[in-house]
Each structure stands twice: as structure tokens, then as C-alpha cells.
Amino acid sequence: MNNYQQYVDLAIAWGVKIVGAIAIFIIGKWIARFLTNLLRKGLEKSNTDVTLVKFLGDLAYFGLLVLVIIAALGTLGVDTTSFAAIIAAAGLAVGLALQQNFSNFGAGVIILFLRPFKVGDFVEAGGASGVVETIGIFNTIFKTGDNKIVIVPNSNIVGSNIVNYSREPLRRIDLVIGVGYEDDLKLVKETLEDILNSDERILKDPAPAVALGELADSSVNFNVRPWVKSENYWAVRSALLEKIKLTFDEKGINIPYPQMDVHVDQKAA
């Protein structure tokens, strides 16, 4: 009879522990999900990137769930100290194995928070240049002008200069146009100004500039600096170069080749 009572007491004690552990797990899981949703909503209100919101939300939920499981096991009488030590050791081993990935992750967080560029921008960074296709947690994907996909680790991007060609709505085209020393400089300047004024894509404000820039070794160089919308930069630049060459040919204005005059001093023997 005594043995029977001991079994009953033991069953009741373990039953209470199991019910308590299940209750802790269910309630803890609900609280973890609730707190994770609060975190995600807060990040979304602060205009944090969707990729980062999802990653941080999943990371927070996983961490809270681990704590809930440890608490539930503690209710069952499991030595959670050793269990926590095992988790910590495993986390350290994984961290050492994924050290480079964590570096890329940290750089990805910086990119997503500071936003030096966004999807669709034409960017030069991390040894690559192209249109940004995807900004990920560990790497960024570029599409080059010849339709190649370049995947760049985020740590390479953060550790280098970033040139964003699309961030500002306006860009200035900088051309250096050389003419011969024998050419009429006033005619050259007027011709360049007429070419700029004839293209409707070139902005009036800021006004385009044509100025004598340098008396070089074999040419007189003019600085030609019109302003355009960023999306028109390459089209206008190519059109200007073609128009300048054709117009100069029509008006007989020379675009000299690089040259060097050599004078030979002959002396009698």
C-alpha cells in the first residue's frame, strides 16, 4: 500500500511538473511571438528595410524561444546550467566558423540602416559597378551594363568608397574639347554654346558653361559643362560628342591629334 501511495505521489508530482512545463512553453511561446511582432512593427514604422525586419524578427523569436525551452526544462528538474553551457559552446563554435558571414551581416545591417544606395541605383562599390538588383543581409547583387550579375560581399562594400551615380536628380557632364591654335576661339566658343542650347535635354538652370580651360601642348582646350537629369547623362554625353565632331567638320574647326615638334640643330663638322 505504501509503495502504491509513493507511485501515486510521484505520478502527481511529475504530472504537475509536466503540466507546468507545457504551460510555460505555451505561454512563453505566445509571449515570444507577441514581443517579436512588436519589434517588427516598430522596425517597419522606422522605415527599416523589409529584409532586415524579417531577419531581426526571426532572430529575436528564435532567441526568446530558446529561453522559453530552458525555463520549461528547468521546471522538469533538468539541469539548465549545463544545457545553457552546451548552447553557448555550440553558439561560439558556429560563430567562429561563420566569422566572415557575421562580418558581412554586420556590413549588411549598416547598408540597410544608413542607405547609401537603394535598389535601382547605379553604384560603384566593392570593386564592382552596375545597377543594384538586391540588397541582402550578406551580399549585394549588381547588374552590369552588359547584363552580367555580380554578387559582392557586403563587407567589401562597406570597406571601400561608394559612388552613387543615381542619388542626386541632376548630374553635370564634364567634357574637354581641344581645338587647334590656328582656329578662331570666338567661333569655337559660340559653336559649342549653340550646340548646348540646341539640345532640349540640357537644363537652363543650372546654366551650361563653356570656358577656355588650358593652353595645352598641341591644342587649346575648352571645358564644356552642361547639366542634365541623371537618367539622361549617358545619352546626352554621347549625343554631344557626336554633334560637336560633325559641327566642327562642317565649320572647318580642327580637333588636333597629339603631336610633338622636333627641331634638329645641324652644325658644320
pLDDT at 97: 46
Indicate the number of domains in the chain: 3
Shared domain check, 61 and 8: yes
User: pLDDT by residue (tens digit) across 203-227?
Assistant: 999 999 999 999 988 899 999 999 9
Burial 49-86 (b: 16+ CB within 10 A, else e): beebbebbbeebbeebbeebbbebbbbeeeebeeeeee
Q: Is the pLDDT of residue 37 over 80?
A: yes
Residue 261 forms part of a structural domain:
no
Positive or negative CA dihedral for 180, 186, 191, 193? Answer: positive
Shared domain check, 93 and 7: yes
Shared domain check, 158 and 131: yes
CATH code, domain carrying 55: 1.10.287.1260
User: 154 with 197: CB under 8 angstroms?
Assistant: no
Shared domain check, 48 and 127: no
Residue 233 forms part of a structural domain:
yes
Shared domain check, 150 and 179: no
Shared domain check, 70 and 13: yes
What average pLDDT does this structure show over 151-156? Answer: 90
Instruction: Report yes or no on whether pTM surpasses 0.85.
Output: no
What average pLDDT does this structure show over 144-172? Answer: 90
Residue 126 forms part of a structural domain:
yes
Shared domain check, 154 and 188: no
Q: Is the pLDDT of residue 237 over 90?
A: yes
Q: State the pLDDT confidence band at 5, using cuts at 50, 70 and 90.
A: low
Residue 33 forms part of a structural domain:
yes
Q: State the pLDDT confidence band at 160, using cuts at 50, 70 and 90.
A: confident
pLDDT at 1: 53
Phi and psi (nearest 5°) for 264? Answer: -100, 120
Q: Which of 145, 164, 183 is the last residue of a domain?
A: 164
Shared domain check, 176 and 158: no
- The DSSP code sequence of 121-134 is -EEEETTEEEEEEE
Shared domain check, 80 and 141: no
The boundaries of the domain holding residue 128 are 116-164
CATH code, domain carrying 193: 3.30.70.100
What average pLDDT does this structure show over 65-73? Answer: 79
Q: State the pLDDT confidence band at 257, using cuts at 50, 70 and 90.
A: confident
